[in-house]
Amino acid sequence: MAPRVCILCCQAVKWAPVVFISAIVGWSYYAYVVQMAILTADTIAEKIIFLVLYHPILFLFVWSYYQTIFAKAKTPPKEFFLSQTEWQQLESETNENNQRDKLNNFAKKLPIQNRTIAGFPRYCEKCKCVKPDRCHHCSVCSICVLKMDHHCPWVNNCVGFHNYKYFVLFLGYALLYCIYVAVSSLKYFISFWSGGGATGVGRFHILFLFFVAVMFGISLISLFGYHIFLTVHNRSTLEAFRAPIFQTGADKDGFSLGSRANFAEVFGDKKSHWFLPIFTSLGDGVSYASRLQPTISYNTMGTTPRAETTNLGDGVTYPTRTVDLDSDGLLGQRQRWMEEGDTESSYENKGIESA
């Protein structure tokens, strides 16, 4: 009984940021629609304009937030997973050269470009798979996530290939929502702040509505701008902090094909769908064109499966690194050093390990 209670408590904590944001949005709806637009606005025309402009922005904001939260993370296809016999042989092997040969032999049939610093395929000891390009293991979700960007506690979900477009739109529409609410309530905020206008509880709702919209708007400007920057440069947050490694070395711009092609990779090639939170990203999340191999087909591995379940992780939250670094087996530390360039730890010849 006790473990089940602990699991439920952990799940409640993980959903707390989502509940908080939802509560803020729900309160803002009451404050704006009821207290400001209906009860406070001076004229009928002003009331209609406020309500007509407000609801489409709110709808797109809530829709994109919902999509970001409930889109299921995509994991590597079955071709990337080692059989039980293969991974047992790999992890029981004590000779580094033999480990390298086994990994290279398994990975030679896979469409991967990224390697560790030493040139080995990236292997995940937790999932028992060779990681596709741009894939990382999330310690919160306990799965390898295709094109993982980060694990975001505000959506209680990993942000990756499956929902990155939704996440960027969520930030954009949240910023637009805050700007619209702040600008349209500015007149009444000044009036109430200076002591004029109506009295009662309603004025405090409008005062707080303006403050909250400005506060969230300021924080969203930098975050939305940063992810637009990442989109046009075809980088994830993890890749911005730790460049992917190719056979020619580390290269932050290794997957960049030009700002227009980079934007289309996330938002699709149909302009009519760019600003709608529906999935239009190009590719399968497994194979990516790069400056070294610009002609790689997006459909090399076909359709990738969705993750059916998630398990409790260790509670890492953004912007803390959420790639799983907890590994005490033979394959854990050395490959992390090979992939991330960790010079603070010294390793003897103990074989390649997961990153």
pLDDT tens for residues 52-101? 999 999 999 999 999 999 999 999 999 999 999 999 999 998 888 888 88
Q: How far apart, in whole angstroms, are the C-alpha atoms of residue 42 and residue 78?
A: 62
| pLDDT (0 to 100) of residue 182 | 97
Q: To 5 degrees, how large is the angle CA 141–CA 147–CA 152? A: 45
In the predicted model, what is the mean pLDDT of residues 115-134?
A: 92
From the CA atom positions of the chain, what is the Rg in Å? Answer: 24
| pLDDT (0 to 100) of residue 192 | 83
| pLDDT (0 to 100) of residue 248 | 86
Whether 156 shows a pLDDT value over 50: the answer reads yes
Q: How far apart, in whole angstroms, are the C-alpha atoms of residue 74 and residue 10?
A: 23
In the predicted model, what is the mean pLDDT of residues 296-322?
A: 36
| pLDDT (0 to 100) of residue 80 | 96
Higher pLDDT, 201 or 46: 46
| pLDDT (0 to 100) of residue 199 | 64
Q: How far apart, in whole angstroms, are the C-alpha atoms of residue 158 and residue 342?
A: 25
Cα dist from 33 to 44, 61, 202, 284, whole Å? 13, 16, 11, 42
In the predicted model, what is the mean pLDDT of residues 226-252?
A: 94
Classify the phi-psi angles of 268: left when phi > 0, otherwise alpha if psi is within -120 to 50, otherwise beta. Answer: left
In the predicted model, what is the mean pLDDT of residues 198-221?
A: 90
What's the pLDDT band for 13 if we cut at 50, 70, 90? confident
Question: Under 8 Å CB-to-CB from 47, ≥6 apart: which residues?
Answer: 37, 38, 41
89: its two tokens: 């042989």
Provide the residue count of the chain: 355
How does DSSP classify residue 152? E
| pLDDT (0 to 100) of residue 137 | 96
Q: How far apart, in whole angstroms, are the C-alpha atoms of residue 67 and residue 71?
A: 6
In the predicted model, what is the mean pLDDT of residues 236-256?
A: 93
* b/e burial code for range 176-209 (CB count within 10 A of at least 16 → b): bbbbbbbebbeebbeebeeeebeeeebbebbbeb
What's the pLDDT band for 3 if we cut at 50, 70, 90? confident
In the predicted model, what is the mean pLDDT of residues 312-336?
A: 39
Whether 315 shows a pLDDT value over 60: the answer reads no
Q: How far apart, in whole angstroms, are the C-alpha atoms of residue 274 and residue 263?
A: 10
Q: How far apart, in whole angstroms, are the C-alpha atoms of residue 331 and residue 244?
A: 20
Catalytic sites, residue numbers = 152
The number of helices, as runs of H, and strands, as runs of E, in the chain is 9, 8
| pLDDT (0 to 100) of residue 12 | 82
Q: How far apart, in whole angstroms, are the C-alpha atoms of residue 258 and residue 289?
A: 12
Give 150's strand partners.
Answer: 159
Higher pLDDT, 197 or 317: 197
Whole-model pTM? 0.82
Mapped onto helix, strand or coil, the DSSP state of residue 123 is strand
Q: What percent of the chain has pLDDT over 70?
A: 81
Give rounded-to-5 percent helix, strand, coil for the chain: 50, 5, 45
Higher pLDDT, 236 or 349: 236
Q: What is the mean pLDDT of the chain?
A: 83
| pLDDT (0 to 100) of residue 99 | 87
| pLDDT (0 to 100) of residue 346 | 35
Whether 185 shows a pLDDT value over 80: the answer reads yes
Whether 329 shows a pLDDT value over 70: the answer reads no
What's the pLDDT band for 331 if we cut at 50, 70, 90? low
Most confident of 5-9, 32-36, 322-326: 32-36
CA-based max dimension of the chain = 80
Q: How far apart, in whole angstroms, are the C-alpha atoms of residue 77 and residue 37?
A: 51
Question: Under 8 Å CB-to-CB from 272, ≥6 apart: which residues?
Answer: none
